[in-house]
Amino acid sequence: MKKTQAVLADGREIVYYDSRDEGVRAAVDTRDLAPVVSGSEMRYDRLLDEWVVVASHRQTRTHLPAADACPLCPSTPERATEVPEADYEVVVFENRFPSMSGGGASDREPLAPGWADDPFPRRPSGGRCEVMCFTPEHDASFKDLTPERARLVLDAWTDRTAELSALPGVEQVYCFENRGREIGVTLPHSHGQIYAYPFVTPRTAAMIASTAAHRHRTGRNLFEDVVAAERADGARIVAENAHWTAFVPAAARWPYEVHLYPNRRVPDLLALDEDARAAFGGMYLDLLRRFDRLFDGEPAPYIAAWQQAPVRSGRVDFALHLELFSIRRAPGKLKYLAGSESGMGVFISDVPPETAAARLREVGE
């Protein structure tokens, strides 16, 4: 993999990832851009012991532009975009409308004196937000990539995890893709995002607490026990190879939800071995294509979310895995987060996990 770093007109970093050493990435961003101004801050929810990010400046972000105005396509002589080059394989750049930005304090650092008596604790947002474009083709989707390009994306995710984990104040790196207008995607060009949080996210903290309790009670690793139980039961297994196992979790929250685990437990993308990396592309592309066969030709809106261990805590027992799920429950029908889900955090599933797994097996090639 060849990595080329450059700077956009407003000072944001851009990084090109290429599968070969050939060629030079030297195009200059000719746009007249003002520096990015982010007004985001973190506010502390005292009842839930969680941080909430407030980022009002994102109200002005680009929203569903026409194809000939897409900011993620390569630049042309007639139009400069976020990507100065006339072509690319995989490219990553700092988000022009970041949810989090700057070197703010992490949740490991003490708040100002007397914060416990402050009814409204807050601090400047730290962290960093990046955009990753998987392909220069405007109308392509991740499922249309070759296994080799999917491997390049995996290597780019790994490199960004390493780079962002080393930034001051970053506590967790999250690589993800949103696809589909139903999910809330505002730029249809195939892309993902990477968030470097200045705190450990609530979902990860809950998993770490569960694994610690399981270790204390049994002396075993909870992630390994869950995967072993799914493999032994078999009813919810969707696909597997020598290095990865994909299954619908027994308590799936979403109508169609698959968890993809490397068979050798590792805490994050950096720890994957070469065999697992080589076997990832074919497995992941197969899962994405299965999702698109579920709904009578309707492309499945989905979220693909890498769960990685935090940078400094909870790493010993954590297990890297990817969670892929769709909010579509049937052709023309979506799963909404209504009263129980949004108001109380209790999911009510419309599709039994065993039925979802059987359907995903059925639509395999």
pLDDT above 70: residue 32: yes
Percentage of residues in the chain with pLDDT exceeding 70?
A: 96
Range with the poorest average pLDDT among 78-82, 118-122, 166-170, 361-365: 118-122
Give the integer Cα–Cα distance in Å for 9 and 110: 36
Q: How open is the CA angle 334-153-241, to the nearest 5 degrees?
A: 75
Q: How confident is the model at residue 103 (pLDDT cuts 50, 70, 90)?
A: low
Which stretch, 48-62, 119-133, 341-355, has highest mean pLDDT?
A: 341-355
pLDDT in tens, 70-93: 999 999 999 999 999 999 999 999
- Which residue of the set 57, 63, 191, 321 is catalytic? 191
Domains in the chain (CATH in brackets) are 2-200 (3.30.428.10), 203-269+283-362 (3.30.428.10)
pLDDT in tens, 284-293: 999 999 999 9
Q: What is the mean pLDDT of the segment spanning 193-205?
A: 97
Range with the poorest average pLDDT among 37-41, 47-51, 64-68, 221-225: 37-41
pLDDT of 57 reads 73
Q: Sign of the CA dihedral 282, 244, 304, 42?
A: negative
Whether residue 133 is annotated as binding a ligand: the answer is no
Range with the poorest average pLDDT among 13-27, 32-46, 101-115, 184-198: 101-115
Parallel/antiparallel/unpaired status of strands 191-197 and 128-133? antiparallel
pLDDT above 60: residue 129: yes
pLDDT of 108 reads 54
Whether residue 70 is annotated as binding a ligand: the answer is yes
Parallel/antiparallel/unpaired status of strands 321-326 and 328-330? unpaired
Q: DSSP readout, 79-125?
A: ---SB-SS--SEEEEE-SS-SS-S-PPPTTSPPSTTGGG-SS-EEE-
Q: What is the mean pLDDT of the segment spanning 179-195?
A: 95
Stated pTM of the model: 0.95
* Arithmetic mean of pLDDT over the chain: 93
Establish whether 243 is a catalytic residue: no
pLDDT above 90: residue 107: no
Higher pLDDT, 116 or 278: 278
Whether residue 175 is annotated as binding a ligand: the answer is no
How far is C-alpha 288 from the geometric centre of its chain's CA atoms? 15
Element (H, E) at 173: strand 172-179
Q: What is the mean pLDDT of the segment spanning 159-167?
A: 97
Q: How many CB atoms lie within 10 A of CB 217?
A: 9
Range with the poorest average pLDDT among 25-39, 78-92, 141-155, 319-333: 25-39
**Of residues 148, 322, 331, the one with CA closest to residue 238:** 322
What one-letter code names the amino acid at 355? T
